[in-house]
Amino acid sequence: MLSRVGSIAVLWLLGCHALAAPAVPLAALPPEVASAMDRVRVPREALSVVVQELGRSGTPRLSWQAQVPVNPASLMKLFTTYAALDLLGPAWTWSTPVWLKGALPSGSHGVFKGDVIIKGSGDPKLVVERVWLLLRRLQQLGVHEIRGDIVLDRSAFEVPEQSPADFDGEALRPYNVRADALLLNYKSLSFTFTPDPEHGVAVISTEPALESVRTDTRVPLAAGVGATQCNDWRGGLQVDFSDPQRLRFKGIYSPACGERQWPVAYADPARYNGRLLAGLWAEMGGKLTGSVRDGTAPATAPTFELASPPLAEVIRDINKFSNNVMAQQLFLTLALNQRGLGTPDGAREVLRGWLATRYGDAGRSAVIDNGSGLSRETRVSAALLTRLLQDAAASPLMPELVASLPVSGVDGTMRRSLTLTGRAHLKTGSLRDVTAVAGYLLAPSGRRYALVGIVNHPNAAAARPALEALIQWAANDGLAEVDGPK
């Protein structure tokens, strides 16, 4: 028999275990989450939720409408990036081969008589700095004047023609840029506005310089310095991009805004690559007697190749900043790698097959569109997303995927969050009728949770406080009562 002291010790240990253990799994919303939904008059049924402790199979800590197919918005990037890590590997790189069709210059004048051929393979990060490195490599080979053409082979992807305005009418938003096997600098421009009060103007810097494209270099400063003038500073500029070769700013800029940047998709995307290459080559002191045109690369070995950053680095840009264009480039790369050609249908087949192999019927039920979440048609369940998060957490690829997610209150799309600063890695998703969050959090107790919360409703944006309440509830280990539907 146990002594009285021994019995008390056993009871104390049992009591501590009871305090530390999570409560009974919940099948209804916590009151703080339900109240947050009610306050903004978004039905509780518009929310899908799963919270599950990592490493524990079976019943989740919280499950609410977990099997309902919903639009995940940018949470879809979790499927694309994890599948890519699994199918391609974290060290995968894209290669952009370059051919010099002709003899290299042997004299001091650097004249190359022939064509320079560049073939795209879908590299999502051919930003202007890396395009400069590619052209710099030509100069290192002695080429300073190209007496021929620069030929671009974009045949690795076959993407249907469509207007950038098709999705939401915002043709100048960089997220609406169409995928391209040779995607240079996201086919976008970046304007920097720097106030110069002494001269009463804001100086406009444009990057990159495009051939035959003129841009205003000054815009008048607004009278006064009220901070409210910065609420719609872009609208105040009154842009006129109706002529892609003459970019105008007809409005004013408030000095109270300080220096600001504005990335914009170029209004004539079909001519962007040619204008960028010709403009950058001229800026570097090079000469081009021919033109930049589309064509076909030879079957011979290239003169040199430009390698991308590794996939593990690329997916950090995709997930932390929810980069739709990069996600779609990666999505089509799955088809290019597995099927030999990057098409939307091929990419859907690859991702659907990968999901079915890992998650059976639940994976087969997913409705896949373009791999980025910039879609009205995509449908997955919170339960499937949770399975992916649990799967990834137990995978050797866990460090790469988790490191790609925004850190709450620190960086990416979660940098402004005031909830659980530094203790959660959470991917966000947002469309006009979707707001969502999914990822991992470390509770003060030391427990780690996979969390998914998705709101589908015309007023979804108003329900963000409910997702913040969900994150805080999970961080408290869910030690609260629940509130069922009213």
Q: Which two tokens stand for residue 94?
A: 């894209």
Task: Spell out the long-range contacts of 311-316 with Cβ–Cβ below 8 A and sequence spacing 24 or more.
Answer: 311/84, 311/85, 311/88, 311/89, 311/90, 311/91, 311/92, 311/93, 312/85, 312/90, 312/91, 312/400, 312/403, 312/404, 314/124, 314/125, 315/81, 315/84, 315/85, 315/400, 315/401, 315/404, 316/403, 316/404
Phi-psi region of 329 (alpha: psi -120 to 50; beta: other; left: phi over 0): alpha
Helices (H) and strands (E) in the chain, counts: 13, 20
Element (H, E) at 157: none
**Greatest alpha-carbon span in the chain:** 100
The Cα–Cα gap between 416 and 108 comes to: 55
Give SS3 for 52. strand
pLDDT digits (tens, 9 = 90+) for 444-463: 999 999 999 999 999 999 99
Please compute, for residue 40, the number of CA atoms within 13 A of its CA located in the half-sphere on the CB side. Answer: 21
Taking the model in full, what pTM does it have? 0.91
Predicted local distance difference test score (pLDDT) of residue 327: 98
Structure tokens at 322: 């929810």
Task: Kindly state the helix (H) or strand (E) to which residue 257 belongs, with its residue range.
Answer: none
pLDDT given at position 56:
78
Q: At what angle do helices 76-88 and 344-359 cross, to 10 degrees?
A: 80
Q: Where are the domains of the chain?
A: 25-91+311-475, 95-163+271-304, 182-270
Evaluate whether 337 touches 123 at the Cβ level (below 8 Å).
no
C-alpha R_g of the chain: 27
Tell me phi and psi for residue 373, to 5 degrees. 95, -5
pLDDT at site 223: 85
Closest listed residue to residue 150, CA positions, set 292, 303, 286, 285: 292
For residue 430, give the amino acid letter: S
The CATH number of 25-91+311-475 is which of 3.30.2130.10, 3.40.50.1220, 3.40.30.10, 3.40.710.10?
3.40.710.10
The amino acid sitting at 474 is A
Both tokens assigned to 43: 């039905």
Helix (H) or strand (E) holding 27: none
Chain centroid to Cα 106, Å, comes to: 45
- The token duo for 119 is 């073939």
**Which CATH code of 3.40.50.150, 3.50.80.20, 3.10.180.10, 3.30.565.10 fits the domain covering 95-163+271-304?**
3.50.80.20
pLDDT tens series, the chain, 486 aa: 444 334 333 333 333 333 334 444 566 899 999 999 999 999 999 999 999 999 877 789 999 999 999 999 999 999 999 999 999 999 999 999 999 998 888 876 899 999 999 999 999 999 999 999 999 999 999 999 999 999 999 999 999 988 899 999 999 999 999 999 999 999 999 999 999 999 999 999 999 999 999 999 999 999 865 556 788 899 999 999 999 999 999 999 999 999 999 999 999 999 999 999 999 999 999 999 999 999 999 999 999 999 999 999 999 999 999 999 999 999 999 999 999 999 999 999 999 999 999 999 999 999 999 999 999 999 999 999 999 999 999 999 999 999 999 999 999 999 999 999 999 999 999 999 999 999 999 999 999 999 999 999 999 999 999 999 999 999 998 765 444 443
**Cα 425 to the center of its chain, rounded Å:** 15
- The pLDDT of residue 383: 97
Phi, psi of 53 (to 5 degrees): -70, 135
CB contact set of 32 (below 8 Å; sequence gap of 6+): 469, 472, 473, 480
* DSSP notation for 404-462: TSPBTTTSGGGTT--SSTTSEEEEEEEETTEEEEEEEEE-TTS-EEEEEEEEESTTGGG
Q: Exposed/middle/buried for 254, CB within 10 Å: 0-12, 13-18, 19+? A: buried
Any residues with CB less than 8 A from the CB of 391 and at least 6 apart, and which? 358
Distances (CA, A) of 106 to 109, 292, 303, 456: 8, 24, 16, 64
How far is it, in rounded angstroms, from Cα 13 to Cα 310?
50
